[in-house]
Structure 1
């Protein structure tokens, strides 16, 4: 029970603080930041909306609303997938890349201050192993 409550409370507080810092400093939510990161890591800066939803662990309808809002802010654009004409791509804009570059140091500093620097190397390894197992188990369950 101690481990479970520690995880729930600690992870929720961590996400709230990281979100608050991005909002205050850059007008981005943590969810916006995750989308911009995923798009920026794609070779051409675009990802199919369905893959983006899976990648950021969001429902497709929630992601559609979020991307629509980000599009109105000039951070992303949507376009038709040239491969099949049915899929929709989210594409990071130059303004989105600039916003991500401005926000990244804030996010990295927060992750370091509130997580990485608090743990010993063996603890970080343990966290990575534990959540690797959780993610693998749940990923298998989702695929079933």
Structure 2
């Protein structure tokens, strides 16, 4: 099998994508560290929980929504739990499972951080795009994400981050 090298156009697009995604993630992280004293991942955990019924979600479902490994989620949840922003609860219907629950304190932190976060996302991403480009960004991003999650897109369907097993991960 021969190598399928990127065309010059693909190489430019790839490098532009990498630069934009790294710079945007850095800008978001800096804003959240400054305004809320937390990295983007911690904010994302609080945000997903705030949108869940009763502000609670099974750890495996939370990892899937965030597209991260269960061990990375466990580490972050432990830190947020120490800071009083969430608590872990036993799963009533599965003794092996664990639930992450957003506390009132965590919700208050999220409410204080949200306006600055939204403004950062708006000013560094959406204010630079036309309405048509916003639609294209959604379409392109969805196609990439769907392709990466489909069975057979990876050597094993269990190889998506939130399905990876770890001895420290909660389910």
TM class by smaller structure: over 0.9
Counting helix residues as a fraction of each chain, which structure ranks higher? 1
1:7-86 paired onto structure 2 within 5 Å? 7-86=17-96
Pick aligned residue for 2:137 from 124, 127, 142: 127
Structure exhibiting the larger radius of gyration computed from Cα positions: 2
C-alpha distance in structure 1 between counterparts of 2:33 and 2:141, whole Å: 27
Paired position in structure 1 for 2:116: 106
Where 1:44 maps in the other structure, the secondary structure is helix
Structure 2 unpaired stretches of 5+: 1-10, 158-171
Residues 1:116 and 2:134 aligned together: no
Render the CA deviation track for 1:32-63: whole Å, top value 9, x for unaligned: 01100110111111111111111111111111
Q: Which has the higher contact order (CA 8 A, sep 6+)?
A: 2
Tell me the C-alpha RMSD between the 2 structures. 1.1
Give me the TM-score of the superposition, normalised by structure 2.
0.81
* TM superposition shift of 1:28: 1.5
C-alpha distance in structure 1 between counterparts of 2:117 and 2:67, whole Å: 19
Structure 1 unpaired stretches of 5+: none
Paired position in structure 2 for 1:93: 103
Render the CA deviation track for 1:84-122: whole Å, top value 9, x for unaligned: 222000100000000000000011000110000100011
Where 1:63 maps in the other structure, the secondary structure is helix
Q: Stretches of 4+ moved more than 4 A in 1?
A: none
Count residues with an aligned counterpart.
Answer: 144
